[in-house]
Structure 1
């Protein structure tokens, strides 16, 4: 792990339990990781994994039972003003802006509380609004905007100040495909131009895979993986196969499902299409079984593994050994 004094974000031994006795629920247990300056980190995990509690603990919104959190070298609990001076966040489910203010007024306000002169950064704000397709809504009150537009205003407000560490929780939520792609492009541009340290929590695997340098995967309150996207995918470099067959008997299909790990099954009319992730030996064993059952194979295609498959495998194996009291209640992350 990166040395404490060199990290933009440093988390060591973070633990948070809600309740006590038999009702105690451990949301985050002994979590440690660090983020280098300018690094873009993706935070992944199924609902109840502990992501929201972790983010709120880092941001000082939840007080952990144990552990240390430092941002740019400053302890967030002992020296919060110094630690959060150049930090901003956009949290899912929170009202991140002032809805009675216009879009432009929100940007000016959030720039001002970070010590920026709104007049000096006016051109930068104008450019930011244009790139997020908010320029025509600059003088519109936020409360009168659509959900997707409000989401983009929240992001613009976070980026309005000259912050160096940013936390984004589900930033693409409510955005259409085109807006989501533009947001990805903007985040890539900003992280490269401004050297932002970014922690991005999302269920959108495409966003994580596109812009993150490294991915931290949580399950059951623990970190189960912490590596680059490429390395995580490589760990599950079993070739994927998409196989289409005709007129397969339900009993035979059930037998195949039991003997081989199918990741998806689609049935339309007389055709059945399924996918499996397998090494060469397993694939040849499958073809032998299909030949034994005299299955009519229509086509076989190769499918490259991706981050989504690695995520499913890691969280599935973690959940199988997870203790009952490590499921986070009320954590909709």
Structure 2
């Protein structure tokens, strides 16, 4: 029998060992709320739709609510604040992207929400249930795939993994057989369904991990770098399946990724973290329209080495492409800087062979916000 850690959902981190082996060892460090949860009895089951409690706030159906979450590591002057007073809500039936540079606190935030790291302050409610007061009930409808973790049992076949993880989620695998067959087909795993996972490529293993997360019909899923190792077509297939599950079945997804194209394509909303704080929280369209940065690509036969060097010193240049005659240069600047750039080129008698403006993408917004945040500190 597999024992599940009462403080965490079926994230399957370290799936090579039985889940929850550390429960007894951790008992002495549990908070009173956690000890109460252990005494609550058996974990409630859920059906394939992940039915359970929901939280309605200000007329919204909220699946995940995070309030004032803080986590520090260490003591004294060497202490590191990984998560600094973070608050946000995730509405049911939406995909929220979580972005941030390495060390921004994304992983600590996700693990704090999942109960794998105990925060120093703050609260988390999943579908209206406090995860620290009633962890079993809160996590009954949650599943997760964490990047860097071994998320499946490699000796089992693909199909056996789906059945196994549906079972430990409290779901009769026979009742979700059609879901499993659809996942296998949608993710291109149907012809490998009876192959042990250890015999698959890295990209295929990633697909199996995703299918296993979705196998039991969890209502809320956390995905950390879900497209890592996938080819372009497989990544697009995953994105389509996520959107279908959200739009047709009301799945709620929190997705952390460095792949800006994936986030921009599938997410309804984006949270950007920097140094443990949320520095942006808005829809993709609002983030893209809110930037005052402009990217201009200029091609001219008059762009010699001296002029290019001056432009590098005075403006943020993304790239320079030397030509047989002249060069092409990409410059990022704001409105005032754009006028200054054109004025400088005119003063240098640079004739413009071609000028192309490039709309900012999510990566541009991300770089601007996180670099500004670092400069302000």
Give the TM-score taking structure 1 as reference length. Answer: 0.91
| Partner residue of 1:43 out of 98, 115, 131 | 98
1:105 corresponds to which residue? 160
Secondary structure of 2:174's counterpart equals: coil
Q: CA deviation at 1:239?
A: 3.9
1:308 partnered with 2:363: yes
2:73 corresponds to which residue? 18
Secondary structure of 1:121's counterpart equals: helix
1:4 and 1:94 mapped to 2: Cα distance? Answer: 37
Structure 1 stretch 290-299 or stretch 16-25: which is displaced more?
Answer: 290-299
Q: How does 1:1-333 map to 2 (within 5 A)?
A: 2=57, 6-246=61-301, 248-278=303-333, 281-322=336-377
RMSD across aligned positions (CA) = 1.9
Secondary structure of 2:173's counterpart equals: coil
Q: Which runs of 5+ in 1 are unaligned?
A: 323-333
With over 3 angstroms needed to count, the CA separation of the structure-2 counterparts of 1:62 and 1:151, relative to structure 1, is: same
Q: CA deviation at 1:32?
A: 0.7
Larger relative contact order (CA 8 Å, sep ≥ 6)? 1
Contact kept? 2:268, 2:283, Cα under 8 Å: yes
Q: Deviations over 1:125-174 (max 9, x none)?
A: 11110110001110111111111000000000000012110100000000
1:271 and 1:131 mapped to 2: Cα distance? Answer: 50
1:177 and 1:128 mapped to 2: Cα distance? Answer: 18
Q: Deviations over 1:195-218 (max 9, x none)?
A: 111100011111111111110000
2:53 corresponds to which residue? none
Secondary structure of 1:290's counterpart equals: helix
Q: Which runs of 5+ in 2 are unaligned?
A: 1-55
> How many positions carry a matched residue from both structures?
322
1:321 and 1:281 mapped to 2: Cα distance? Answer: 21
1:81 and 1:312 mapped to 2: Cα distance? Answer: 39
Contact kept? 1:87, 1:166, Cα under 8 Å: yes
Give the TM-score taking structure 2 as reference length. Answer: 0.81
